Structure 1
Amino acid sequence: MQRLHAQGWPRPVKRDGRLADARKQADKHRATVKDGGNSIEACKDAEKATQIAYEAKNPEARKARLLATIAPLAFEARKSQLRDGGKAGRWFSPLKTHVLPKLGQKPVEEVTGNEIAKALRPIWHEQPDVARKAITRLDACLSFARAKGYEVDRMAVADAKELLGRQVHVAKPIPSMSWQDVPAFYQSLEESGTTGMALQLLILSGLRSKPIRFANLDQIEGDVWTVPAYLVKGQEGRTEDFRVPPTPEALRVIKRATETARDGLLFPDQRKGVISDMTMATLMKRRGMTARPHGFRSSFRTWADEQTNQSWEVKETAIGHKVGSKVSRAYLRTDYLEERRLLAERWAQHVIGASGEVVAIRGAAV
């Protein structure tokens, strides 16, 4: 025999325990099928029973699979993409409020379309924006769990949307003030302290509230106010500094604000930090107004359309909107600063009540 092996004959295969076990399993599955059972389901049931037995002895193993455990980890993984690292809590809030109380104690493998639909049905049509954010962020959590190796139902979110039905919702724009009414309101803010000055600067600049609230003397150099990228709306790391041409009227407001500035901040809170996001809106609400601060961007944009012949690109850039395609912006080497300066000055003249006629702006397309 040894001689045969030496001549190249194969040695007999040793039947180890693994092969014997595999044959036993195969025989077991054949028997299951012969009896009319489903061998795949039987395997799943056996695996589930083994998992339950293991987790009974190791509670932490089950806890690791819970949606309540996975969701914060998914949030942490996305923090670098979120504005201010997600400190405002807006990304996680819909999950915390509407998903985790109902599904948090379920292992991610057991989160089905039916369960998701049941959890979100109360708000699906009543609060469509919140529901949309909740289901989108839940999908992100399930994707994260799948990346970690958990057997998550890939169709769970799609199934839930099918069960919930299409959302019928007409978006309501933020209430704005007619541009004709802006001058009277603007002048009424002269004696309204820090909040009044913040609103005046917001009206004049066409900016959103965040750059106004965090306006700092260090950002203003001569006749250019540079809003840092981190205060510009957009995804973290994908925004750029935005230059604003402050008019003489805006500089007057800024000079007044410096009298109560603290650590360079033009609009500090009485205790610490800066005025809150709701401070300006509260002032308007207390006056019985339906319009809100963000609406002044619409007031300015409508005035610019109806009362000037400035180009669309300049008017859109003036309120911080990107113009053109991604490719065209790569070749664009201007932010229309001087054209916007003329437009801002005409708007300021309207706001302080110095002019009401249609304006033809030099250098603008007719």
Structure 2
Amino acid sequence: MRALHRLSAAEVKNAGPGKHADGGGLWLHKRDDGGAQWFLRVTVHGRRREMGLGRLSDVSLKEARLEAERWRAIAREGKDPIKERDRLKREAARSDNTLRTVATDAFEARKAELRGDGKAGRWFSPLELHVLPKLARVPVEEISQQDIKSALSPIWHSKADTARKAMNRLSIVMKHAAALGLDVDLQATEKAKALLGKSRHKPQNIASMDWREVPAFYETLNEPTVTHLALRLLILTGARSKPIRFLSLDQIDGSVWTIPAELMKGREGKTGDFRVPLSTEVLAVIELAKPHSRDGYLFPSARKGVISDATMSRLMERRELPERPHGFRSSLRTWLSETTDAPHEVAETVMAHTTGSAVERAYRRTDFLEQRHALLERWADHVTGKGTGKVVKLA
């Protein structure tokens, strides 16, 4: 074995990007972005294995050496240290395998896949609110379809979407438990669905305003407040609430607004931003909003961050209107169908909807930006009372 303990504490601290050997298979990998990790190389049954030993910020040189010796000893016994570590984790899980513990572990394992590392809590909240209050202390191996039915029956018909999410999350947790080596019933959630029966909940569409009535409403948004201006942009662009609320000046380049994929419904965690052409009216509204900007965001809240999802809805509630902001997307889509000759794929792209098969989309090399610009300019004319009432032609 090569000499051990080659690195000093000072060398560890001052080492540049690259891989630095401490000896005996222990390495420090420093990345260009400033991060650093320890890893151990060992050979077991003629196969080289590399196992991470933690970040430098969490594991000191002394601790890394102790860990390295621990796993080198395992390798000398002819055991794969990575598999042995996994086995020990599974045994530890068995000693505390309540649903809450396993659910929390499953959540931690999936954080990287979730928007903002799941900090908003939306992934975990259906479990936290509707399953864990009854089943948190139950060993996951003992959970049956009857237990799941009992937990979700109060909301199965009244809050169908939440119940569906809770059932989905619970299924993921059960699969995670199985991956840990626990003897769980992977069919428990499907059996519970059979016991609960088909949901009687009938989803209601969000009320939308007739496109003919939008100009009169738009005219009432005549105050240069954050709420009025945000709602005006939502109407004019057809965008959903979240991209509007998180609109920042660096997303705008001339007459094009590029919405990051993470702010688009259905594109979280994927590549592919979405471009929105900005009409003359939109650019004027943005100029009015700039004095309100804080930390780059055009629509900051009174205290911290950006305005809430409910801010624009409350304005319409106070006016005793049945419609809600999201309904203006339907207003725009109906206007596109009834007053323009826009092809289906262009109109759907205005709404940021996906059209065609995966193969068709792969060969389509356009997002119809120019056609959409013309349509949204005419929509702005209609909204501001300048429209002619004639059919908008793209030709």
TM-score (norm 2): 0.74
**Which residue number corresponds to residue 76 of structure 1?**
108
What does the per-residue CA deviation read over 1:307-365, in whole Å, with 9 as the maximum and x for residues that have no partner? 111111111000111111112111111000000001001100100011151323132xx
Residue type at the aligned position of 2:321: M
Q: Is the contact made by 1:346 and 1:359 (CA closer than 8 Å) also made in structure 2?
A: no
RMSD over aligned Cα, in angstroms? 1.5
Rounded Cα–Cα distance in structure 2 between residues aligned with 1:272 and 1:119 = 37
Which residue of 130, 142, 155 corresponds with 2:187? 155
SS at match of 2:131: helix
Q: Residues 61 and 178 from structure 1, CA distance in 2 versus in 1: closer, same or farther, beyond 3 angstroms?
A: closer
User: Is residue 2:344 matched to residue 1:322?
Assistant: no
Rounded Cα–Cα distance in structure 1 between residues aligned with 2:186 and 2:292 = 56
User: Is residue 2:332 matched to residue 1:300?
Assistant: yes
Rounded Cα–Cα distance in structure 2 between residues aligned with 1:296 and 1:167 = 29
Q: Which has the larger radius of gyration?
A: 1
Give 1:264 deviation, angstroms.
2.2
Greater strand proportion: 2
Correspondences of 1:128-167 after superposition (within 5 Å): 128-167=160-199
Give 1:127 deviation, angstroms.
1.3
Any stretches of 5+ residues in structure 1 without a counterpart? 1-59
User: Is residue 2:344 matched to residue 1:312?
Assistant: yes
**Which residue number corresponds to residue 220 of structure 2?**
188
What does the per-residue CA deviation read over 1:227-266, in whole Å, with 9 as the maximum and x for residues that have no partner? 1222122253224111111000000000000122123211
Give 1:125 deviation, angstroms.
1.1
Q: Which has the higher contact order (CA 8 A, sep 6+)?
A: 1
Rounded Cα–Cα distance in structure 2 between residues aligned with 1:216 and 1:259 = 13
Rounded Cα–Cα distance in structure 2 between residues aligned with 1:212 and 1:357 = 28
Which residue of 227, 235, 238 corresponds with 1:203? 235
**Which residue number corresponds to residue 344 of structure 1?**
376
**Which residue number corresponds to residue 224 of structure 1?**
256
Rounded Cα–Cα distance in structure 1 between residues aligned with 2:348 and 2:101 = 44
Rounded Cα–Cα distance in structure 2 between residues aligned with 1:284 and 1:66 = 45
Rounded Cα–Cα distance in structure 1 between residues aligned with 2:137 and 2:344 = 52
Give 1:61 deviation, angstroms.
7.0
SS at match of 2:275: strand
Any stretches of 5+ residues in structure 2 without a counterpart? 1-91
Q: Is the contact made by 1:177 and 1:295 (CA closer than 8 Å) also made in structure 2?
A: yes
Number of residues of Structure 1 aligned to a counterpart in Structure 2: 304
Rounded Cα–Cα distance in structure 2 between residues aligned with 1:296 and 1:85 = 31
Rounded Cα–Cα distance in structure 1 between residues aligned with 2:151 and 2:295 = 47
What does the per-residue CA deviation read over 1:269-308, in whole Å, with 9 as the maximum and x for residues that have no partner? 1222111111111111111111111111111001110111
Q: Name the % identity.
A: 56
What does the per-residue CA deviation read over 1:29-59, in whole Å, with 9 as the maximum and x for residues that have no partner? xxxxxxxxxxxxxxxxxxxxxxxxxxxxxxx
TM-score (norm 1): 0.80
Which residue of 192, 201, 207 corresponds with 1:175? 207
Comparing 194-203 with 114-123, greater Cα deviation is found at 114-123
**Which residue number corresponds to residue 282 of structure 1?**
314
Greater helix proportion: 1
